[in-house]
């Protein structure tokens, strides 16, 4: 009886994973090609067997509980490893399944999208779901396989591979420079209209270094604030104020003359580009393949 119960639990794990990653019973049933009632029954039996609630259910969404998150972190990575090993033993070398990628909205549009398109061509059996948000998402709750993040990572249980670095530039519009006092030194910025990007940990404090090694720490005030890189770029182009943007989000506007770099003789700390993925010894082949591909894509550009 114990053996039968264990086998039943193991058989229910792919169903559990599908619900967790699809975010609902209906979507999981469609993904698995079974009836929704079977999915619900398998999850109910697994919860009864374990004596815990794995999902919190509302009329709008299904999300993992704390117990569900723990089960997913402990059991699903080795399950994926076994599935991958079986596929390789059976001669399946092509990537398949679903790869869920998370990235910031602006970065995804300008940099991630063309790379994903090229990667998709190489792997026709792989489905790719690119999810964009300027907020840091909960990878486990959202079922994200790999998140592409920019900046400075905080300590966490997640693992990360550094893919490269990016520069930050002080930018404004030509119209703004025409009507405002000149900016010759970072300390001059304190007297200007600053636009704060609230996604940053310290959007009003900036550390500058000159080509000669001089240091300046500047604290600015901001009447305008936004949590969107795209909105920040629009505000700057409108001629209202001045701010800092990463090179990926601003290069097109600078090349077109809509924005100009201020204080080119001074630099700000460089940020990192990271591929972040959930903890565990097992990293799915599709995740490893995409990280390697994207790192090579960035290096080639």
pLDDT in tens, 165-198: 899 999 999 999 999 989 999 999 999 999 999 9
Closest residue by Cα to residue 233 from 219, 220, 246: 246
**Can you give the residue range of the structural domain that contains 40?**
2-89
The mean pLDDT value for 240-251 works out to 93
Residue that has been written with the tokens 């790999």 in this structure? 146
96 versus 221: which is more confidently predicted? 221
Residues 123 and 82 in one domain: no
**Model confidence, pTM:** 0.65
Residues 118 and 153 in one domain: yes
Residues 162 and 279 in one domain: yes
Residues 173 and 263 in one domain: yes
Residue-wise pLDDT tens digits, 194-231: 999 998 889 999 999 998 899 999 999 999 999 999 99
Answer yes or no: is pLDDT of 285 > 50. Answer: yes
Element housing 272 (H / E): strand 271-277
User: Could you tell me the CATH number of the domain that includes residue 11?
Assistant: 1.10.10.10
59 versus 247: which is more confidently predicted? 247
- pLDDT in the model for residue 160: 84
Residue-wise pLDDT tens digits, 109-149: 888 999 999 999 999 989 999 999 888 777 777 778 899 98
Count, in order, helices (H) and strands (E) of the chain.
11, 15
- pLDDT in the model for residue 207: 96
Cα–Cα distance list, 19 to 40, 64, 73, 143, 198 (Å): 9, 9, 14, 10, 34
Residues 157 and 180 in one domain: no
**Under a CB-based contact definition with an 8 Å cutoff, are residues 109 and 118 in contact?**
no
Residues 248 and 287 in one domain: no
Confidence grade of residue 3 (pLDDT, cut at 50, 70, 90): very low
Residue-wise pLDDT tens digits, 4-49: 555 566 778 888 888 887 788 888 888 778 888 999 999 999 999 8
Residue that is last in its domain, among 89, 112, 134: 89
Residue that is last in its domain, among 63, 89, 115: 89
Residues 41 and 110 in one domain: no
Residues 102 and 72 in one domain: no
Residues 216 and 261 in one domain: yes
Give the span between the Cα atoms of 9 and 125, in whole angstroms.
Answer: 29
Residues 158 and 80 in one domain: no
Residues 155 and 176 in one domain: no
């Amino acid at each position: 009886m114990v053996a039968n119960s264990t086998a039943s639990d193991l058989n229910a794990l792919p169903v559990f994973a599908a619900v967790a990653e699809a975010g609902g019973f209906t979507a999981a049933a469609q993904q698995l090609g079974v009836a929704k009632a079977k999915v619900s029954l398998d999850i109910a039996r697994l919860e009864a067997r374990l004596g815990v609630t794995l999902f919190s259910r509302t009329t709008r969404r299904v999300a993992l509980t704390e117990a569900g998150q723990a089960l997913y972190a402990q059991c699903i990575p080795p399950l994926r490893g076994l599935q991958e090993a079986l596929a390789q033993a059976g001669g399946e070398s092509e990537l398949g399944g679903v790869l869920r990628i998370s990235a910031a909205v602006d970065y995804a549009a300008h940099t991630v999208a063309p790379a994903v398109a090229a990667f998709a061509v190489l792997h026709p059996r792989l489905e790719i779901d690119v999810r964009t948000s300027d907020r840091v998402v909960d990878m486990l709750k959202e079922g994200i396989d790999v998140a592409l993040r920019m900046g400075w990572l905080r300590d966490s249980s997640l693992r990360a591979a550094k893919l490269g670095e990016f520069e930050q530039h002080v930018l404004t519009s030509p119209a703004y420079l025409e009507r405002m006092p000149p900016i010759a030194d970072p300390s001059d910025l304190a007297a200007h209209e600053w636009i704060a990007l609230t996604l940053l940990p310290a959007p009003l404090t900036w550390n500058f270094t000159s080509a000669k090694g001089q240091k300046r720490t500047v604290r600015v005030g901001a009447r305008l604030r936004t949590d969107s890189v795209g909105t920040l770029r629009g505000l700057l182009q409108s001629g209202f104020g001045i701010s800092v943007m990463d090179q990926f989000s601003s290069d097109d506007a600078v090349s077109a003359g809509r924005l100009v770099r201020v204080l080119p003789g001074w630099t700000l700390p460089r940020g990192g580009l990271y591929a972040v993925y959930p903890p565990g010894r097992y990293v799915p082949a599709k995740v490893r393949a995409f990280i390697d591909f994207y790192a090579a894509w960035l290096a080639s550009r």
